[in-house]
């Protein structure tokens, strides 16, 4: 099964400034030259169209503090001499001579409660980043194209780190940079997201000195298009966020370099066609390759240099060191078609470092509920083997879905495992109406059995299956923290 693809590196780094890791500018970047016009400065960033200070509430007198003077403190009013009251007029309010004046009945009314002060505008760095993201979201394609135009125009030496065709690569890098930057105020999440990316980018040949170039062009693209939200403070927020992103990735790559190669060479030893478009490919790495059942690896073929796709391991670690992948050739899929229709024993491919967290927690005795659709059965099979190798009798229920009966290409293997392990149950699920992989039928079949609220759940397959499966499993009582699957967003881009 092809697993999610992390954004390729090469120039995907994000960088420091003058050092291998720290700030990548040392000063705010200058105006951005428009693509196709080298040497000309772009328009300077516009000032933010809002006040950077928090507005103050207008001051009001406190209600109840303005009172008329008490009668006994007032000076008696003097009557006007020889001034008789005129008829046909309103009664005079003047007091009689020698009598204290009555309280002033025309004193101003007490003020009401003050109007609520306007809520202060959020000017945190995180808020500034979000405003930029909201502004560029409707024109994301245009911003992405501008970013790459700047990158390859200003730094043509970086073009060789990217595949010849950018159709599948283009959105992943830019989206990864933006996603990381907007989590800059959550160090734990940011580190968890970026550490595997920093390690994985080693296979593209990414170096610390590449990060500043990417950062410069990221700021250039954003400042050119986010004209409403951009300004000195917004630019400073993006520089700080990108600096944090680049440092985490550089540190992760440096640590990984001490213990593992950037990639492994692997020779194809067997190539078995299971259907006309699905092959089981088994390879022998040129050096030990440590991984866990349920993980996946990036794969590059000699036919498409610098194009990497992710595929799940179809078995638990083996004593002979061999690795197996289930690959389905998809339309316009460069890597998948090469592995299915061109790879043969003796061919040499390259593997990136293992990744993924869809692994078994062996500290608990919870049962395992596994849903595998299509070639998504590959990591599920690896999980079953992993449980068997640990020798603990844990209940494992596998639901194996496909479009038709003959698409259950690995059902014989799964049924043999069921015969060998009494704690394993395998249930095939077929979409009788033939609408495609059982994104709906497979989760619905799970509801007919159970209960499952004490199980750990694992899902592998197309994005629709995972989305529907998560909703179904939560609805039948499995907490989200016990549901494991590969990234849905990245699965969408990993189908070739």
Q: What is the pLDDT of residue 48?
A: 38
At 432, is the pLDDT very low, low, confident or very high (cuts 50, 70, 90)? Answer: low
Residues of the chain with pLDDT > 90, as a percent, come to 51
At 66, is the pLDDT very low, low, confident or very high (cuts 50, 70, 90)? Answer: very low
- Residue 373 sits in the same domain as residue 465: yes
Query: Using CA atoms, how far apart are residues 267 and 459, in angstroms rounded to an integer?
Result: 30
- Residue 335 sits in the same domain as residue 389: no
Query: Which token pair is 79?
Result: 């009557």
Residue 41 has pLDDT above 60, yes or no: no
Average pLDDT, integer, range 350-374: 93
Q: What is the pLDDT of residue 37?
A: 42
Which residue from 284, 279, 379, 270 is spatially nearest to 322, judged by alpha carbons?
284
Q: Domain span at residue 223? A: 2-34+122-257
Q: Over the range 127-158, which residues count as b (16 or more CB within 10 Å of their CB) and which as e? A: ebbebbbebbeeeeeebbbbbbbbbbbbbeeb
Residue 20 has pLDDT above 80, yes or no: no
At 392, is the pLDDT very low, low, confident or very high (cuts 50, 70, 90)? Answer: confident
Average pLDDT, integer, range 464-473: 90
Q: What is the pLDDT of residue 369?
A: 96
Query: Using CA atoms, how far apart are residues 117 and 252, in angstroms rounded to an integer?
Result: 47
Q: Say which residue, 48 or 428, is predicted with more confidence.
A: 428
DSSP conformation class of 495 = -
Give the SS3 label for residue 307: coil
- Residue 213 sits in the same domain as residue 278: no
Residue 100 has a CB neighbour count (10 Å cut-off) of: 13
Residue 169 included in any domain: yes
Residue 436 has pLDDT above 90, yes or no: no
Query: Which token pair is 273?
Result: 């066609």
Look over the chain and give the mean of its residue pLDDT values, rounded to a whole number: 78
Q: What is the pLDDT of residue 74?
A: 44
Residue 228 included in any domain: yes
**pLDDT by residue (tens digit) across 84-103?**
444 444 444 454 555 555 55
Residues of the chain with pLDDT > 70, as a percent, come to 70
**pLDDT by residue (tens digit) across 263-281?**
999 999 999 999 999 999 9
Q: What is the pLDDT of residue 178?
A: 80
Residue 112 has pLDDT above 50, yes or no: yes
Give the SS3 label for residue 459: strand
Query: Which token pair is 341?
Result: 């229709």
Place of tokens 């070639």: 375
Q: Residues 260, 263, 264, 265: is their CA dihedral positive or negative?
A: negative
Listed range (69-83, 127-141, 400-414, 449-463) with the worst mean pLDDT: 69-83
The residue from 213, 232, 257 where one domain ends is 257
Average pLDDT, integer, range 156-165: 82
Instruction: Count how many residues are written for the chain.
Output: 496
Listed range (133-142, 181-190, 200-209, 327-336) with the worst mean pLDDT: 181-190
> Alpha helix locations (H) across 322-448?
334-341, 377-390, 411-420, 441-446
**pLDDT by residue (tens digit) across 139-159?**
988 999 999 999 999 999 998
Q: Say which residue, 403 or 11, is predicted with more confidence.
A: 403
- Residue 465 sits in the same domain as residue 422: yes
- Residue 27 sits in the same domain as residue 165: yes
Average pLDDT, integer, range 228-236: 95
Q: What is the pLDDT of residue 81?
A: 46
- Residue 14 sits in the same domain as residue 146: yes
Average pLDDT, integer, range 190-218: 91
- Residue 389 sits in the same domain as residue 485: yes
Q: Residues 458, 460, 463, 468: is their CA dihedral positive or negative?
A: negative
- Residue 274 sits in the same domain as residue 154: no
At 170, is the pLDDT very low, low, confident or very high (cuts 50, 70, 90)? Answer: low
Residue 211 has pLDDT above 70, yes or no: yes
What is the CATH classification number for the domain harbouring 291? 2.40.30.10
Average pLDDT, integer, range 40-57: 38
- Residue 455 sits in the same domain as residue 312: no
Query: Using CA atoms, how far apart are residues 379 and 326, in angstroms rounded to an integer?
Result: 9
- Contacts of the segment 315-319: beta carbons below 8 A, 24+ positions apart: 315/381, 315/382, 315/385, 316/382, 316/383, 316/385, 316/386, 316/389, 317/290, 317/291, 317/292, 317/293
Strand order in the sheet with 323-328: 2-3, 308-312, 296-300, 348-351, 264-273, 278-285, 323-328
The residue from 296, 321, 351 where one domain ends is 351
What is the CATH classification number for the domain harbouring 450? 3.40.50.80
Q: What is the pLDDT of residue 372?
A: 94
Residue 358 included in any domain: no
């Amino acid at each position: 099964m092809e697993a999610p693809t992390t954004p390729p590196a090469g120039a995907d780094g994000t960088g420091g400034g003058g050092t291998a890791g720290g700030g990548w500018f040392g000063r705010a970047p200058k105006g951005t030259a428009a693509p196709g016009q080298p040497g000309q400065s772009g328009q300077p960033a516009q000032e933010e169209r809002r006040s950077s200070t928090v507005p103050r509430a207008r001051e009001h007198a406190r209600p109840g503090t303005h009172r008329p003077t008490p009668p006994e403190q007032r000076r008696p009013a003097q009557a006007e001499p020889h001034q008789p009251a005129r008829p046909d007029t309103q009664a005079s309010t003047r007091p009689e001579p020698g009598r204290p004046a009555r309280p002033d009945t025309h004193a101003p009314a007490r003020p009401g409660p003050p109007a609520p002060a306007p809520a202060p505008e959020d000017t945190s760095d995180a808020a500034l980043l979000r405003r930029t993201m909201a502004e560029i979201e409707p024109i994301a394609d245009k911003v992405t194209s501008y970013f790459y135009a700047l990158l390859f125009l200003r730094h043509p030496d970086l073009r060789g780190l990217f595949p010849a065709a950018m159709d599948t690569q283009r959105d992943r890098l830019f989206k990864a940079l933006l996603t990381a930057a907007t989590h800059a105020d959550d160090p734990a999440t940011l580190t968890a997201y970026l550490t595997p990316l920093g390690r994985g980018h080693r296979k593209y040949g990414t170096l610390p000195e590449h990060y500043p170039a990417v950062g410069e062009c990221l700021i250039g693209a954003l400042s050119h298009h986010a004209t409403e939200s951009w300004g000195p403070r917004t630019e400073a927020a993006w520089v700080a966020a990108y600096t944090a992103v680049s440092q985490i990735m550089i540190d992760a790559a440096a640590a990984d370099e001490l213990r593992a190669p950037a990639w492994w060479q692997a020779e194809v030893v067997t190539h078995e066609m299971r259907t006309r478009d699905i092959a089981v490919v088994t390879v022998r790495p040129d050096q030990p390759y440590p991984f866990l059942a349920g993980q996946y690896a990036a794969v590059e073929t000699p036919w498409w240099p610098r194009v990497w796709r992710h595929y799940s391991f179809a078995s638990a670690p083996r004593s002979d060191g061999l690795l197996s992948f289930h690959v389905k050739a998809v339309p316009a899929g460069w890597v998948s078609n090469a592995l299915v229709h061109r790879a043969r024993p003796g061919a040499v491919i390259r593997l990136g470092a293992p990744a993924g967290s869809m692994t078994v927690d062996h500290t608990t005795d919870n049962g395992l509920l596994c849903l595998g659709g299509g070639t998504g059965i590959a990591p599920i099979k690896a999980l079953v083997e992993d449980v068997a190798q640990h020798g603990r009798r844990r209940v494992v229920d596998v639901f194996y879905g496909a479009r038709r009966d003959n698409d259950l290409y690995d059902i014989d293997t799964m049924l043999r495992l069921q015969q060998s392990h009494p704690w394993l149950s395998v249930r095939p699920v077929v979409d009788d109406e033939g609408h495609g992989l059982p994104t709906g039928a497979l989760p619905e079949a799970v509801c007919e059995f159970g209960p499952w609220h004490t199980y750990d759940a694992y899902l592998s397959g197309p994005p629709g299956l995972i989305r529907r499966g998560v909703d179904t499993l939560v609805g039948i009582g499995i907490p989200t923290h016990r549901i494991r699957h590969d990234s849905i967003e990245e699965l969408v881009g990993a189908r070739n």
